[in-house]
Structure 1
């Protein structure tokens, strides 16, 4: 068995086929990763930060080759991939800064008090890395959510080792990225086996079941994610599986906003829904709007462009879904955009449906169509939309477009959206995700398997950490984060007070 890359613009093979990883080799790599973890987890945060910065530097230095290979294999375009690779290296540097700042370990110290009931001994709590992490690469972000993307960067920062299952849509990109990362880790003195890559579907199954793997991160389809999630939970020792799966990302356009700035809203929507040929997990595929703005939205989509999609299967699925909607008596075709004459090209499409029809066929019309298409649900009164929002499946984002006079209505919409979405956007669009402490990229099922956590942003590191409490230990035997003198100078919660003490 082998994994072959393809050029989406031509449909022709790209690069040599890569041999699928055997079960024996998966086992060997997991054992090597565990040995490396035992060393890496004992490194200081400062030393791990230095290595993450080095990996980022070496990726930047090899950017020309990485982007060239990736564009040939994904057709995402040099401008987009240049930005994405810079986002990836900035992500590594962000976690290096997190390590230097130090408060991510959430150190807590409670002084002994034997006069209360029950008596309290000296107890001190800190977050510690959990072990070997399985990372499943995304198809649509070959750098930022793949080989050395957010899952890998946060896991390495946490002090864990990583085994990456490369995505079949871009195996050559995976190989070239891994080559740079492996060399940089060795240059930085990191233990051998800390990071490795495997290929092939069966290897991914073996990986999530390996007893040395302690958690997994996944970005991909609902079907693939659910299968791996079930495997992770059916192990003799179930492990956390942090999957980002599917999302319709509802947008509500309020009447005032639709009347005041229809062209601006329509242009923003068309840009967002076709960004990356619609292959974004935050694609705003479901819009609730007054009928008055439908023509403007259609005009914007009609003037938009599609492009080659990531692989043949994805393109076929998208085209099939659009064709089914086009032939359905439930929705009306509002507009189609343009697409180049390329092998796996996806053409933008926009449909509309009255609110009543949408509610009656909610399950069918909320199925995610991964590509540059959207459905407009038309309404007369926003009050009728509110109970419908609560019935939508879990989603990564929810968006509101409102005029300054519609604060009451916007607040009412937000009150419903926050029940189903992890990030709420006001007068903007959900595509494009900031790298920040406050970012939440997650939501109720099927958006993610665990809505408490985020896969992007600083809090993503907490997926790979577990709390340990030390009770009545001598100061000199405690981790430095918990020692009385606070030798690292980090922010800690001591007797309930958060400060550098």
Structure 2
């Protein structure tokens, strides 16, 4: 057994040892610990942002905002667990006259799944990394978390993990509730460890699918939430200078290294696209996150520029510095629908960087079928239309197609910039995610919970949220005896 294997096993053992005591903490105790972690990160924000700037090339304003988003998310989850509605408590009182046959006392609650392994992302070194949404949701659910650090920002990962772990333990949480590991092989070995009960990942489709398959192939398969890839199509029924400027800004933001970047913009065949080039010319070059991402973007950009039938609206550029880092400006090409279909291998794959494709179409009525054919799973889809078109029925079929295939459907605006709210959905049908859940917003907590029903249990043996005295003061949905005789009355 290697030292690495021993370390992985010890990490899993510490998480497993913390699982029971951590799950037993009250909502207010756990919430206070999340707030303590948020306060600690805020206190160290300047230090952390400086490290992140050096390791990722992202700008200070972007990273400062990301820290606020990360700590705000922790506080939002703190309030969520104190409220307790996420536990979905259901109590069925015993009912000898139940219409289907005598009903026992049955009480159901959502409980933590156990230790969670979170593979951190590269493009959000705070919000989707060590203390990001997956970690926050799992901790809120009552699950110990092990983060597999991303190789793109190792120093930041170590420092963030140390701050969070110290804050959680200082708030009285058990040792081992929050840990960090590094290295690809260590991550794979830990994903295969029987003590890990769920996994989360944000990254490429290729790597995410490999990890999802490992999780599914275990002797005891575990749930695995992977956010993989999305091209986020946008459909416009009109084009003007303002729309094209907004499009370019969304494509270029953070050098296009956002999972919600609009990869395709569909416009009427006769649209004037002359505003694209001057808008792109105003965008300063931006370093890509790491050399690997830079090389991949370089290849995707070359393939798009070389596709037969593609018209270059903004050539952009890519420069390699002495450290092997690439610096890019936006590239935008235009094609017609036939060209997109013919060259789908060169054009349809997600491009992680400032590249997008504008597609000319002949009629709005064709778009629902086109969307279902080319974009089966997306984080987002967007509609830009005139007010009258939104209410006259001409877009109903398109909106239905977008809702079938997307986690979030936008009307106006651009998909970059995902607000952390209770109603947010950041997930979608495969290949956007491996499980059609959400990794942003308070609904993300349900990924790390499982339902348990207790039948005819003594009050003393019930979890606190299921007891009649309800010591945690959480919402309880109770089905009283005698109600079954009234079934169907609401529909009359």
TM exceeds 0.5?
A: yes
Instruction: Kindly indicate whether the alpha-carbon contact (under 8 Å) linking 1:131 and 1:160 is maintained by their aligned counterparts in 2.
Output: yes
1:466 to 450, 467, 470: 450
Q: Distance in 2 between matches of 1:286 and 1:191?
A: 47
2:173 to 165, 168, 190: 190
1:409 to 387, 394, 400: 394
Aligned to 2:488: none
After TM superposition, list the pairs within 5 Å mapping 1:294-313 onto structure 2: 294-313=273-292
Q: Return closer, same or farther for 1:444/1:86 CA change in 2, 3 Å cut-off.
A: same
Q: Distance in 2 between matches of 1:204 and 1:87?
A: 26
Following superposition, the deviation at residue 363 of structure 1 comes to: 4.7
Q: Return closer, same or farther for 1:144/1:426 CA change in 2, 3 Å cut-off.
A: same
Aligned to 2:479: 495
Q: Secondary structure at the match of 1:174?
A: helix
2:468 to 474, 478, 484: 484
Which consecutive unaligned segments of at least 5 residues does structure 2 have?
Answer: 484-492
1:351 and 2:333 matched: yes
Q: Distance in 2 between matches of 1:301 and 1:494?
A: 58
Aligned to 2:30: 48
Instruction: Kindly indicate whether the alpha-carbon contact (under 8 Å) linking 2:305 and 2:312 is maintained by their aligned counterparts in 1.
Output: yes
Q: Return closer, same or farther for 1:330/1:485 CA change in 2, 3 Å cut-off.
A: same
Aligned to 2:241: 263
Instruction: Kindly indicate whether the alpha-carbon contact (under 8 Å) linking 1:306 and 1:372 is maintained by their aligned counterparts in 2.
Output: no
Aligned to 2:414: 429
1:30 and 2:15 matched: no
Q: Return closer, same or farther for 1:362/1:386 CA change in 2, 3 Å cut-off.
A: farther
Instruction: Kindly indicate whether the alpha-carbon contact (under 8 Å) linking 1:21 and 1:203 is maintained by their aligned counterparts in 2.
Output: no
Instruction: Kindly indicate whether the alpha-carbon contact (under 8 Å) linking 1:400 and 1:410 is maintained by their aligned counterparts in 2.
Output: no
Instruction: Kindly indicate whether the alpha-carbon contact (under 8 Å) linking 1:442 and 1:448 is maintained by their aligned counterparts in 2.
Output: yes
1:203 and 2:186 matched: yes
Following superposition, the deviation at residue 189 of structure 1 comes to: 1.6
Instruction: Kindly indicate whether the alpha-carbon contact (under 8 Å) linking 1:335 and 1:350 is maintained by their aligned counterparts in 2.
Output: yes
Q: Deviations over 1:302-326 (max 9, x none)?
A: 3323310000010111011111221
Following superposition, the deviation at residue 341 of structure 1 comes to: 7.6
Following superposition, the deviation at residue 344 of structure 1 comes to: 1.5
Q: Secondary structure at the match of 2:262?
A: coil
Q: Distance in 1 between matches of 2:169 and 2:223?
A: 29
Q: Distance in 1 between matches of 2:252 and 2:376?
A: 22
Following superposition, the deviation at residue 293 of structure 1 comes to: 3.6
Instruction: Kindly indicate whether the alpha-carbon contact (under 8 Å) linking 1:322 and 1:349 is maintained by their aligned counterparts in 2.
Output: yes
Q: Mean alpha-carbon deviation: is it higher for 115-124 or for 88-97?
A: 115-124
Q: Deviations over 1:315-354 (max 9, x none)?
A: 1110111112212214221113467885421221001110
Q: Secondary structure at the match of 2:271?
A: helix
Aligned to 2:490: none
Following superposition, the deviation at residue 269 of structure 1 comes to: 0.8
Following superposition, the deviation at residue 379 of structure 1 comes to: 1.1
Q: How many residues align?
A: 472
After TM superposition, list the pairs within 5 Å mapping 1:171-182 onto structure 2: 171-182=154-165
1:284 and 2:262 matched: yes
Following superposition, the deviation at residue 298 of structure 1 comes to: 3.6
Following superposition, the deviation at residue 382 of structure 1 comes to: 1.1
Following superposition, the deviation at residue 295 of structure 1 comes to: 2.0
Q: Deviations over 1:346-377 (max 9, x none)?
A: 22100111012223333542100100110011
1:371 to 353, 367, 384: 353
After TM superposition, list the pairs within 5 Å mapping 1:30-109 onto structure 2: 30-109=12-91
Instruction: Kindly indicate whether the alpha-carbon contact (under 8 Å) linking 2:23 and 2:143 is maintained by their aligned counterparts in 1.
Output: yes
Following superposition, the deviation at residue 471 of structure 1 comes to: 0.7
Following superposition, the deviation at residue 443 of structure 1 comes to: 0.8
Q: Distance in 1 between matches of 2:407 and 2:227?
A: 12
Q: Distance in 2 between matches of 1:405 and 1:469?
A: 50
Aligned to 1:318: 297
Q: Distance in 1 between matches of 2:470 and 2:178?
A: 31
Q: Distance in 2 between matches of 1:405 and 1:359?
A: 31
Q: Secondary structure at the match of 1:294?
A: coil
Which consecutive unaligned segments of at least 5 residues does structure 1 have?
Answer: 1-19
After TM superposition, list the pairs within 5 Å mapping 1:392-403 onto structure 2: 392-403=375-386
Following superposition, the deviation at residue 80 of structure 1 comes to: 0.4
Instruction: Kindly indicate whether the alpha-carbon contact (under 8 Å) linking 2:307 and 2:343 is maintained by their aligned counterparts in 1.
Output: no
Q: Distance in 2 between matches of 1:363 and 1:124?
A: 52
1:131 and 2:110 matched: no
Following superposition, the deviation at residue 490 of structure 1 comes to: 2.0
Q: Distance in 2 between matches of 1:331 and 1:446?
A: 26
Q: Distance in 2 between matches of 1:117 and 1:253?
A: 53
1:151 and 2:134 matched: yes
Aligned to 2:143: 160
TM-score scaled by length of structure 1: 0.91
Q: Return closer, same or farther for 1:109/1:363 CA change in 2, 3 Å cut-off.
A: farther
Q: Distance in 2 between matches of 1:124 and 1:199?
A: 41
Q: Distance in 1 between matches of 2:66 and 2:253?
A: 13
Q: Distance in 1 between matches of 2:139 and 2:343?
A: 45
Q: Distance in 2 between matches of 1:363 and 1:145?
A: 29
Instruction: Kindly indicate whether the alpha-carbon contact (under 8 Å) linking 1:21 and 1:200 is maintained by their aligned counterparts in 2.
Output: no
